[in-house]
Amino acid sequence: MASLEIVLGSIRLANPVIIASGILGTTAEGIKLLYDMGAGAVVTKTTTLKSKPGNPNPTVVSTPSGLLNSMGLPNPGIEEMSREVAAACSEGVPVIGSVAGSSINEFIEVAKRFEETGVVGVELNISCPHEKVGLIGQDCRLTYQVVKSVKDSIKTPVIVKLTPNVTDIVEIALEAEKAGADALTAINTVKGMAIDVNTGYPILGNRFGGLSGPAIKPIAVRCVYEIYESGVKIPIIGVGGISNWRDALEFFMAGASAIQIGTALMKGYQVIEKIKRGLIRYMKKNKLENLNQIIGLSHKRC
Ligand SMILES: Cc1cc2nc3c(=O)[nH]c(=O)nc-3n(C[C@H](O)[C@H](O)[C@H](O)COP(=O)(O)O)c2cc1C
């Protein structure tokens, strides 16, 4: 029997396909729907203490190589979000609360409020390329401080979402692990921009945005591979451009214990079941019983 069950530290999930933060996941109904469509867990939209309107429009532009967004973390604030998340958790949905803040105290406060709702974990967004929080994940000392402060304040597992917009993602990953992170998510979007050649103006209201979708998959796979190779002991969740089971498999072989999907959901939620079915088929064909037999496989080949 091929099983898709996975363990991320103390988080046990029926399958490894997690919904990435930001695309969906702001209402209880929406979160429950994604779970009913087969997701192993759902990460909420990144949430701050107070509501945030986000960046000026336009905030999304489609480019030939992927989607560029500069949403600016629009969210209703933790007060409203915690009501929605608590409702989803009470129906048995494994929810991961995505946390951001403008200070360490705000990170702690939002994480604590998520903990009260019954989430299975919190994911610290220190990596958004079009928001100040993204600067945290580019600095070892700040990463350590934020992760350690949240870890010291809650019992719920803490996942740290990393940015590829650094010279060396491994040193940030190791710092997050040293600060007590229970798992790492790699990667957030890749910083980019687009210019309207008729006017010369940058297209996004915020000028800079984050690229997502298939174009960033090789970058994300490389990041997961390098982090795994560095010898981190905590599990890695791979994300970036995954749209089918083969993409997912690449991430497992690079060293991911679970995966997240974001942009691919825009073509329909069926992608969740398609990825799961493809993985099961592959495992049966290769007489594999669980995903542990694939995780990090490509490291043994070199
Ligand atoms: C429209 C949009 C909004 C996003 N918002 C968030 C967010 O609120 N928090 C976060 O951590 N990542 C956010 N992301 C990044 C995704 O979670 C993911 O890391 C990234 O898009 C790469 O995965 P993908 O190629 O499967 O989309 C967002 C991405 C998109 C496209």
Instruction: Give me the DSSP letters along 244-268.
Output: SHHHHHHHHHHT-SEEEE-GGGGG-
Supply the CATH number for residue 88's domain.
3.20.20.70
Point out the ligand 1 atom lying closest to the alpha carbon of residue 188: 19
Query: What's the Cα-to-Cα distance from 40 to each of 130, 134, 217, rounded to whole Å?
Result: 28, 27, 21
Strand-strand pairing, 209-212 and 66-69:
antiparallel
- Confirm whether 200 is domain-assigned: no
Please give the distance, rounded to the nearest whole angstrom, from the Cα atom of residue 127 to the centre of ligand 1. 10
Q: Which of 41, 47, 51, 6 is nearest to 20 (CA)?
A: 41
Q: Is the pLDDT of residue 80 over 90?
A: yes
- Confirm whether 203 is domain-assigned: no
The residue ranges of DSSP E strands in 104-194, in sequence order, are: 121-125, 158-162, 183-186, 190-192
- Confirm whether 90 is domain-assigned: yes
User: Cα–Cα distance between 162 and 137 in angstroms, integer?
Assistant: 6
User: Cα–Cα distance between 173 and 176 in angstroms, integer?
Assistant: 5
| Cβ of 263 below 6 Å from ligand 1 | yes
Checking 34-40 for CB contacts under 8 A at 24+ apart, the result is: 34/269, 34/272, 35/88, 35/93, 35/94, 37/269, 37/270, 37/272, 37/273, 38/272, 38/273, 38/276, 39/15, 39/272, 40/4, 40/6, 40/13, 40/14, 40/15, 40/16, 40/94, 40/258
Q: Can you say whether the dihedral through the CA atoms of 87, 106, 129, 215 is positive or negative?
A: negative
Query: What's the Cα-to-Cα distance from 42 to each of 33, 73, 276, rounded to whole Å?
Result: 10, 17, 15
Query: What's the Cα-to-Cα distance from 149 to each of 103, 161, 188, rounded to whole Å?
Result: 11, 16, 22
Confidence at residue 271, expressed as pLDDT on a 0 to 100 scale = 98
Count of domains forming the chain: 1
| Cβ of 262 below 6 Å from ligand 1 | yes
DSSP 160: E
User: Cα–Cα distance between 70 and 64 in angstroms, integer?
Assistant: 17
Please give the distance, rounded to the nearest whole angstrom, from the Cα atom of residue 264 to the centre of ligand 1. 11
The full length of the chain comes to: 302
Reported as a single tens digit per residue, the pLDDT across 158-217 is 999 999 999 999 999 999 999 999 999 999 999 999 999 999 999 999 999 999 999 999
Please give the distance, rounded to the nearest whole angstrom, from the Cα atom of residue 72 to the centre of ligand 1. 11
| Cβ of 185 below 6 Å from ligand 1 | no
- Confirm whether 152 is domain-assigned: yes
Helix residue spans in 152-244 (DSSP H): 169-178, 217-229
Query: What's the Cα-to-Cα distance from 283 to each of 4, 6, 45, 230, rounded to whole Å?
Result: 9, 14, 32, 27
Q: Is the pLDDT of residue 302 over 80?
A: no
Q: How confident is the model at residue 24 (pLDDT cuts 50, 70, 90)?
A: confident
| Cβ of 23 below 6 Å from ligand 1 | yes
Reported as a single tens digit per residue, the pLDDT across 264-295 is 999 999 999 999 999 999 999 999 999 999 99
User: Cα–Cα distance between 285 and 61 in angstroms, integer?
Assistant: 40
- Confirm whether 233 is domain-assigned: yes
- Measured CA angle at 36 (ends 35, 38), to 5 deg: 70
Domain membership of residue 127 as a residue range: 6-51+73-193+213-301
Q: Which of 188, 173, 186, 172 is nearest to 138 (CA)?
A: 172
Asked about 128 being catalytic, the answer comes back as yes
Three-state SS for 113?
helix
Contact of 124 with 107, CB cutoff 8 Å: yes
Reported as a single tens digit per residue, the pLDDT across 212-260 is 999 999 999 999 999 999 999 999 999 999 999 999 999 999 999 999 9
Q: How confident is the model at residue 301 (pLDDT cuts 50, 70, 90)?
A: confident
- Is there a cis peptide before residue 218, judged by omega within 30 degrees of 0? no
Please give the distance, rounded to the nearest whole angstrom, from the Cα atom of residue 53 to the centre of ligand 1. 17
The continuous run of DSSP H or E covering 237 comes out as strand 236-239
- Confirm whether 205 is domain-assigned: no
Mutate to test the pocket of ligand 1, among 17, 18, 19, 21 (most ligand atoms within 8 A of CB): 21
Q: What whole-number percentage of the chain has pLDDT above 70?
A: 100
Average pLDDT, the chain: 96
- Confirm whether 63 is domain-assigned: no
The pTM of the whole model exceeds 0.85: yes
